[in-house]
């Protein structure tokens, strides 16, 4: 495992060095300015980060060798924790009803605790009404169902769970931590309990949630990527992290005594965003469990674990803003005593995942400014002399520089594209493509997802750069509510959320066309999506029309737990409508 980590770091550094060296040689046709040196350094760091991600995918191409042991008899008592805050009560409580009904008669004691942080009176009343339906609908052979609502949501979700474990956790051995939109098959829950029973040192077991119920172009592309590429990249993550594995904050089983003894989170000194309560608490809790000697593990083979995801770019960026602030807080934890070296490395990776966008943006700016002080060759003479010569679409490179330039482009794009194409080959060989409509449909979906990702990459980069700048400048993003349900946006709504991206793209386009026109064609793949950001955001928020593209197994053959939830929710909604009609009458 240590060897795999060292190999990954070495390969990332080598790729980063080669990219920087090729860029310097490519730019050395005339005297190199300070801007070119800065751009080379930024490109090297960014390429090393891409190489690290590609390495993670490569590690997961081979299947896991052994299945983890499972106990035959379950003796542990388990509670399923469902933290909620201002959620749709009927939908959320129907999820609990579906899981409780599936677990009825199971060879284990599995109870449910709904932990509410809802502050509004109307929201609390809706939850109480939904609780009445849940208790009336509860299967007699199922576990107990508990509900409590805090009057003050200190510490947000992490504080909500900590409050429950402090007050009531001793009644159970394990806790299955869910999100409000989580659903898990009873067989998966029992399988996780058996695996933790069989491994006394296992303190946290993370499943791989699959995204379901996506309807928009954006949502279905992300849903497909999660289900198609996710298992391979998670296998790579499992191999690399080993006993110091990941925790994503939900759909994970924790050993309560170890969690209670190790995972009390500090409140960071100072004011938010750098101080206060830790927003990305899951990474920290995993590090604290590992510091105490426990095993934190992710099992990619665990199926039957589901979640929902944002349906549009704006909702995704809003959630990502919270994650950005939380991950950047981890910089203050890097020197915490007793943490394992790899836990510190995970913190660095989380920080880097947000700084990477800033590095790419700064690289583009540095490369653009370098052209002001250096007479670079005209690579697109047809475009520059548009009124005098025919338009040329291919770059005209000096003979001695073309090989380096093409090699650099192939290398960077290869690190982005090759891992997903290799995953497609793996899926075809193992037969996973059948669940996605076949090999041809899977390949088409992968190419469509790559094209959409390329178009949205500059837009998402702009949102991440803004998030980092907001955190660095002391602006607290807080914990905005999650967007559920239909995420369709009008063009006006998209413009209100992305006007600054369009403005940035227009300024960049005007500057490049006026000051360094020879570099304009290289920048168009970045600037054009930024100019069209509101259009892209509005379009990708609409329902996807071609269901054959980005098809997933859950769409083609809905899991039993999803169908059961839908049936319960539909019945409850009809009952609520009838009750409302009677009240009016």
Percentage of residues in the chain with pLDDT exceeding 90? 72
Strand order across the 77-84 sheet: 145-149, 109-116, 77-84, 174-177, 252-255, 202-206, 295-298
pLDDT tier at 388, thresholds 50, 70, 90: very low
The Cα–Cα gap between 362 and 36 comes to 12
pLDDT tens per residue across span 434-448: 999 999 999 999 999
Q: Residue for token digits 């390949």?
A: 443
How confident is the model over 255-274, as pLDDT tens digits? 999 999 999 988 899 998 98
Omega within 30 of 0 (cis) for the link into 267? no
pLDDT confidence bin for 386, thresholds 50/70/90: very low
Q: What is the mean pLDDT of the chain?
A: 89
pLDDT at 389 over 80: no
Q: Say if pTM beats, i.e. exceeds, 0.75.
A: yes
Give the domains, in start order, of the chain with CATH numbers.
Answer: 2-63+353-540 (no CATH), 77-216+230-309 (3.90.550.10)
pLDDT band at 367 (very low <50, low <70, confident <90, very high): confident
Looking at residue 381, its pLDDT comes to 55
Instruction: Give the pLDDT of residue 577.
Output: 80
Q: Which residue has the higher pLDDT, 515 or 221?
A: 221
Whether 123 and 91 have beta carbons less than 8 Å apart is answered as: no
Residue 566 exposure: Cα atoms within 13 Å on the Cβ side: 8
pLDDT for 411: 73
* Cβ neighbours of residue 11 closer than 8 Å, sequence gap 6 or more: 51, 55
pLDDT of 413 over the 80 cut? no
| Interval 482-495 mean pLDDT | 84
Spell out the residues 6+ positions from residue 271 whose beta carbon is closer than 8 angstroms to its own: 474, 476
Q: What are phi and psi of 298, to 5 degrees?
A: -115, 130
Report yes or no: 306 and 452 within 8 Å, Cβ to Cβ: no
Interval 158-195: pLDDT, tens: 999 999 999 999 999 999 999 999 999 999 999 999 99
DSSP summary character for residue 440: H
Contact (Cβ atoms closer than 8 angstroms) between residue 145 and residue 273: no
Q: What pLDDT was estimated at residue 387? A: 43
Which H or E run contains 79?
strand 77-84
Q: What digits encode the pLDDT tens for the residues 495-554?
A: 999 999 999 999 999 999 988 887 888 889 999 999 999 999 999 999 977 677 999 999
Q: Which residues is 81 bridged to in the sheet?
A: 113, 177
Sign of the alpha-carbon dihedral angle for 24, 30, 34, 35 = negative
What's the pLDDT tens digit per position in 131-159? Answer: 999 999 988 888 999 999 998 888 889 99
Task: State yes or no: pLDDT of 583 exceeds 90.
Answer: no
- Long-range CB contact pairs, 467-473, < 8 A, 24+: 467/317, 467/320, 467/321, 467/324, 467/325, 467/354, 468/324, 468/328, 468/354, 468/355, 468/357, 468/358, 470/273, 470/321, 471/273, 471/274, 471/324, 471/325, 471/328
């Amino acid at each position: 495992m240590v060897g795999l980590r060292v190999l990954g770091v070495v390969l990332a550094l080598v790729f980063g060095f080669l990219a920087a060296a090729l860029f310097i040689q490519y730019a050395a046709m005339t005297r190199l300015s300070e801007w070119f040196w800065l751009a080379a350094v930024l490109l090297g760091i960014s390429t090393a980060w891409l190489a690290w991600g590609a390495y993670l995918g490569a590690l997961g191409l081979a299947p896991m060798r052994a299945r983890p042991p499972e106990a035959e008899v379950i003796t542990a008592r388990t509670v399923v924790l469902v933290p909620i805050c201002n959620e749709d009560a009927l939908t959320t409580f129907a999820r609990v009803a579906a899981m409780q009904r599936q677990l009825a008669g199971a060879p284990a004691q599995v109870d449910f605790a709904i932990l509410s942080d809802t502050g509004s009176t109307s929201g609390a009343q809706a939850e109480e009404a939904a609780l009445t339906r849940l208790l009336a609908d509860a299967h007699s052979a199922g576990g107990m169902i508990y509900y409590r609502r805090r009057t003050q949501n200190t510490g947000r979700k992490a504080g909500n769970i900590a409050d429950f474990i402090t007050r009531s956790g001793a009644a159970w051995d394990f806790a299955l931590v869910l999100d409000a939109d989580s659903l898990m098959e009873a067989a998966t829950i029992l399988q996780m309990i058996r695996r933790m029973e069989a491994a006394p040192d296992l303190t946290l077991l993370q499943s791989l949630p699959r995204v379901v119920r996506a309807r928009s172009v954006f949502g279905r592309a992300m849903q497909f990527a999660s289900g198609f590429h996710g298992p391979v990249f998670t296998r790579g993550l499992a191999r690399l992290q080993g006993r110091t594995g990941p925790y994503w904050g939900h759909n994970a089983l924790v050993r309560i005594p170890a969690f209670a003894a190790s995972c009390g989170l500090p409140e960071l000194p100072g004011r938010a965003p750098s101080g206060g309560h830790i927003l990305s608490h899951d990474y920290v809790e995993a590090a604290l469990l590992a510091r105490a000697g426990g095993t934190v593990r992710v099992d990619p083979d665990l199926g039957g674990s589901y979640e929902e995801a944002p349906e549009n770019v704006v909702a995704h960026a809003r959630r990502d803003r919270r994650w950005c602030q939380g991950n950047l807080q981890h910089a203050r934890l890097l020197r915490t005593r007793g943490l394992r070296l790899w836990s510190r490395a995970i913190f660095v990776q989380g920080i880097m995942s947000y700084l990477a966008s800033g590095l790419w943006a700064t690289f583009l700016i540095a490369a653009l400014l370098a052209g002001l002080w250096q007479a670079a060759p005209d690579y697109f003479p047809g475009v520059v002399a548009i009124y005098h010569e025919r338009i040329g679409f291919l770059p005209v490179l000096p003979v001695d520089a073309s090989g380096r330039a093409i090699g650099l482009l192939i290398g960077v794009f290869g690190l982005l594209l090759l891992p997903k194409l290799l995953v497609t080959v793996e899926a075809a060989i193992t037969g996973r493509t059948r669940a996605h409509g076949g090999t041809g449909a899977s390949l088409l979906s992968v190419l469509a997802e790559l094209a959409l990702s390329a178009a949205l990459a500059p837009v998402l980069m702009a949102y991440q750069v803004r998030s980092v700048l907001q955190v660095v400048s002391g602006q607290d993003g807080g914990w905005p509510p999650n967007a559920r349900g239909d995420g369709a946006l009008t063009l006006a709504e998209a413009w209100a959320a992305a006007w600054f991206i369009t403005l940035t793209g227009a300024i960049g386009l005007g500057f490049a066309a006026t000051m360094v026109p020879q570099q304009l064609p290289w920048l168009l793949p970045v600037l054009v999506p930024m100019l069209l950001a509101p259009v892209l955001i509005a379009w990708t928020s609409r329902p996807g029309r071609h269901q054959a593209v980005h098809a997933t197994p859950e769409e083609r053959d809905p899991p039993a737990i999803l169908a059961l939830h839908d049936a319960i929710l539909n019945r409850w909604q009809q009952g609520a409508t009838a009750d409302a009609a009677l009240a009016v009458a």
